[in-house]
């Protein structure tokens, strides 16, 4: 099994925000982002590492003996439920926004999960304002109980030692991202909140980070706990994807329903170390 790649050396400090530059995006991505320059050849390919049988993946993280390890230049994380312990009661929030009966109907139509932000996009401005306020109230409660995910600080230290950049994409608000940075002393750059439109699962935020870092999407890994948001965003962008599934919520049936299979699946951020070292060239 092969995983093609092109190397780009990065020597910048991962904690220093890179200059805002633009990289042209190929025709697949043009519907998400628009750039004025001609399309470069290095964005013409989308490479993925394919999953092996579940037992092999969970035991060794290595799906097959790769002839050449793919170069990894950056890792982009989701925030809620990935870098921080999930504390928001999303079911209660959805019921408060939609009402009990509407919540039951929408949930039945979307068994893989409700995209509440997308759902309220076409509401009237007044109704939207009420919905956003309810969401903001629940998010504020989450900020009051914000906790770092076990293994997150150690993983960030590991990436810093390897000079691997780290970014962040969340559907939460900028205030939450700022508080996360301040409280835990870990900086991610770029760190995109839902004020960046369009938000994930659209690949635009991940492509924006790749453009800012001046790297190819397949030199970046997207790590998150949502199949329909994080893995979908990563796959559409052409990045390597890693699903954090602490409670074994996802299985092959879920992957088949959404036609989304992560390249890697872990139950803890502590498992990402060996995953990266076993499968990727981490040379600066």
Where residue 226 falls (left for φ over 0; alpha for ψ -120 to 50; beta otherwise) is: beta
DSSP codes of every residue in 119-153: HTTTS-HHHHHHHHHHHHHHHHHHHHT--BPTTHH
Both tokens of 9, joined, read: 């050396």
Q: How far is CA 19 from CA 12, 24, 150, 213, 258, in A?
A: 11, 16, 31, 8, 36
78 is catalytic: yes
Q: Provide DSSP, 185-248.
A: ----SSEE-TTSSSPTTSSHHHHHHHHHHT--GGGEEEEES-IIIIIHHHHHHT-EEEEE-TT-
Instruction: Give the contacts of 249 (CB within 8 A, at least 6 positions apart).
Output: none
User: Per the omega criterion (within 30 degrees of 0), is the bond before 201 cis?
Assistant: yes
CB 197 within 8 A of CB 25: no
Let me know the angle formed at the C-alpha of 113 by 112 and 114, rounded to the nearest 5 degrees: 145
Cα–Cα dist 118/208, whole Å: 20
| 254 is a catalytic site residue | no
Alpha helices in 82-124 (DSSP H): 90-98, 100-109, 116-119
**Torsional sign, CA 279, 258, 223, 208:** positive
Catalytic positions: 78, 80
């Amino acid at each position: 099994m092969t995983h093609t790649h092109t190397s780009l050396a990065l020597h910048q400090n991962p904690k220093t925000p890179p200059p805002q530059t633009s990289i042209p995006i190929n025709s697949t991505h043009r519907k998400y982002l628009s750039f004025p320059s001609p399309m470069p050849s290095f964005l013409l390919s989308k490479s993925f590492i394919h999953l092996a049988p579940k037992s092999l993946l969970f035991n060794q993280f290595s799906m097959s003996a790769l002839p050449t390890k793919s170069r990894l230049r950056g890792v982009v994380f989701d925030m809620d439920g990935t870098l921080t312990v999930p504390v928001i009661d999303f079911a209660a929030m959805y019921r408060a926004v939609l009402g009990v009966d509407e919540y039951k109907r929408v949930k039945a139509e979307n068994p893989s999960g409700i995209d509440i932000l997308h759902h309220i996009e076409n509401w009237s401005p007044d109704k939207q304002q009420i919905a956003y306020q309810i969401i903001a109230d629940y998010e504020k409660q989450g900020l009051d109980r914000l906790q770092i995910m076990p293994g997150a600080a150690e993983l960030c230290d590991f990436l810093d030692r390897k000079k691997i950049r780290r970014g962040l994409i969340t559907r939460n608000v900028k205030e939450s991202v700022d508080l996360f940075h301040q409280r835990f002393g870990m900086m991610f750059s770029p760190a995109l909140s839902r004020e960046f439109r369009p938000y994930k699962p659209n690949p635009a935020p991940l492509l924006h980070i790749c453009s800012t870092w001046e790297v190819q999407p397949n030199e970046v890994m997207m790590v998150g706990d949502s199949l329909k948001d994080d893995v979908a965003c990563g796959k559409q962008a052409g990045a390597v994807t890693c699903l954090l599934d602490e409670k074994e919520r996802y299985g092959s049936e879920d992957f088949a329903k959404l036609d989304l299979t992560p390249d890697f699946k872990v139950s803890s951020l502590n498992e990402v170390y060996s995953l990266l070292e076993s499968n990727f060239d981490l040379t600066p």
